[in-house]
Structure 1
Amino acid sequence: MIRCIVIEDQPPAQRILETYISDTPNLNRVGTFHDPLEALGFLKTEVIDLIFLDIHLPKISGLDFLTILPYKPAIILTTAFPDYALESYELDVVDYLLKPFPFQRYLKAVSKASQLLENSKSQAPSEAPSVKTDSFLLRSGHDLIRIDLGQLVYIKAGSDYCELHTIEKKYLSQEPLKTWNVKLDAKGFCQCHKSYLVGLVHIRKISGNQLYLNDGTLLPIGRAYKDKLLKGFIK
């Protein structure tokens, strides 16, 4: 049985997929999510084989969601827009369903996913590989850049983007600070201010309402974040 979830923010599209899945004997739907960040939290504790993923979602797009998965299930994209087909296949998805899609087209995509999962199981080593957790992927235009967590010093929120400051250079991301906070939770990062997220290993000292980083950077500390920051720094 293939364990799957649906990530879709439109109720009519949710209902169609749920009906299709219930009529597919080898699929077991274990969840439906309208919020991709909620789905991300679920995936950190549950192993899923297949995701039906919409592209246009609140907070973070489906394509960006693919870059922050803690592991890689089979992905079937569902969207009303054909523009993303090439980019989605570059991200190694199983299939791309253009809404509205009939049941037969859906079955074709599920068949491809089933075959892929079966092949993966037959070729898998006796011990499953560990998930790489010391780096993350950053989308920059059409590029995906892998950044080591140890290189990331802090993130600063702007009006329309975030600045990711690493030891070597600065990157820009369209994802909000809230999304980065979820991504880097429990990975040695802590929000110190409404506009800043900092790597705890890069803090040299805390003095009053300021952080002194190893590279000489000074960051502000917001009153609402100070207690959690101190606990993380001392730990």
Structure 2
Amino acid sequence: MINYIIVDDEPLAHELIEEFCGMLPHLNLKQHCYNAMEAMQYLSSASVDIMFLDLNMPKLKGFDFLRTLPNPPQVIVTTAYKEFALEGYELNVVDYLLKPFSFERLVQAVNKAVGTMPSVSPVAKQVPPPALQSSFFIKGDKKYHQVFTQNLLFVEAYGNYTKLHLTDSMIISHEKISHFETLLPEGQFLRVHKSFIVSLDKIQTIEGNRIKIGQHEIPIGQTYRSVISRLL
């Protein structure tokens, strides 16, 4: 599970974030904190993956609180004040959401946060549980799916849509294939055709201008042959 806390002095903000996150699989709310002091006390004895952080709070402002944390979690700012965005990025926040924000905008922020989480713990050097491995959320069939990159075989352009071929299913997304070219981890996925991106470790054979992955044969575009030749 990906654990998160909400740090905000407005109860309605807590309700909205909890409602949105409740629609996403593998997100687990650990604590409601209504000021920075409560969050500081909680984080002194526990750790989380994501912190939704308001800025204008009593006693201790959001960014002043963030500066006190030696090892902060991934921070998604939620505020009505756009003028502090630059300061936020100087503090390495993952994203800056202006209230009122939509569900889609929160999903984008969560995608960024999950994408920046290390795939291997720097302390234990062990393979993490699947929920902490590289993943992203994508809308398909009127709901959001969490896609783990290790389960993704290849991506296929499909008119104005994109097909994500997984080991056990297929999702049709409204995003263009160029979106996935920037989203997927570099060095693990490769665009081999204007309509195809493949997972390198799922390739079984390369023969002529065809790549075989399971029962699928993916064409190699002429302009991408030099890229493929560097693999061989």
Distance across 2 between alignment mates of 1:70 and 1:37: 15
**Structure-1 residue corresponding to 2:2:** 2
Residue 116, structure 1, aligned to residue 129, structure 2: no
Residue 71, structure 1, aligned to residue 71, structure 2: yes
Distance across 1 between alignment mates of 2:11 and 2:99: 14
Deviation per residue, 1:3-30 (Å, 9 max, x gap) = 1000011111111011011111121001
Residue aligned with 1:39, SS:
helix
**Structure-1 residue corresponding to 2:141:** none
**Structure-2 residue corresponding to 1:16:** 16
Distance across 2 between alignment mates of 1:22 and 1:71: 26
Deviation per residue, 1:208-229 (Å, 9 max, x gap) = xxxxxxxxxxxxxxxxxxxxxx
Distance 1:27 1:18, change over 3 A: same
**Structure-1 residue corresponding to 2:27:** 27
Task: Decide whether the 8 Å contact of 1:8 with 1:53 is kept in 2.
Answer: yes
Residue aligned with 1:3, SS:
strand
* Partner AA of 1:90 in structure 2: E
Distance across 2 between alignment mates of 1:36 and 1:123: 27
Task: Decide whether the 8 Å contact of 1:43 with 1:70 is kept in 2.
Answer: no
Distance across 2 between alignment mates of 1:7 and 1:123: 26
Residue aligned with 2:16, SS:
helix
Deviation per residue, 1:128-187 (Å, 9 max, x gap) = 9xxxxxxxxxxxxxxxxxxxxxxxxxxxxxxxxxxxxxxxxxxxxxxxxxxxxxxxxxxx
Root mean square deviation, CA, Å: 1.6
Distance across 1 between alignment mates of 2:89 and 2:26: 25
**Structure-2 residue corresponding to 1:61:** 61
Residue 46, structure 1, aligned to residue 52, structure 2: no
Distance across 2 between alignment mates of 1:109 and 1:12: 20
**Structure-1 residue corresponding to 2:211:** none
Task: Decide whether the 8 Å contact of 1:44 with 1:70 is kept in 2.
Answer: no
Distance across 1 between alignment mates of 2:81 and 2:104: 20
Residue aligned with 1:42, SS:
helix
Query: Once the 2 structures are TM-superposed, how far is the Cα of residue 123 of structure 1 from its aligned partner?
Result: 6.9
Deviation per residue, 1:105-138 (Å, 9 max, x gap) = 0000000001111xx233735469xxxxxxxxxx
Distance across 2 between alignment mates of 1:104 and 1:58: 29
**Structure-1 residue corresponding to 2:179:** none
Distance across 2 between alignment mates of 1:44 and 1:31: 13
**Runs of at least 4 residues of structure 1 off by over 4 A?**
none
Alignment coverage as a number of residue pairs: 126
Query: Once the 2 structures are TM-superposed, how far is the Cα of residue 94 of structure 1 from its aligned partner?
Result: 0.3
* Partner AA of 2:12 in structure 1: P
Q: How does 1:217-228 map to 2 (within 5 A)?
A: none
**Structure-1 residue corresponding to 2:36:** 36
* Partner AA of 1:24 in structure 2: L
Distance across 2 between alignment mates of 1:125 and 1:29: 24
Residue aligned with 1:121, SS:
coil
Q: How does 1:115-154 map to 2 (within 5 A)?
A: 115-117=115-117, 120-122=118-120, 124=122, 126=124
Distance across 1 between alignment mates of 2:71 and 2:87: 20
Identity of aligned residues (%): 40
Residue aligned with 2:21, SS:
helix
Gaps of 5+ in 2: 127-232
Task: Decide whether the 8 Å contact of 1:75 with 1:95 is kept in 2.
Answer: yes
Gaps of 5+ in 1: 129-235
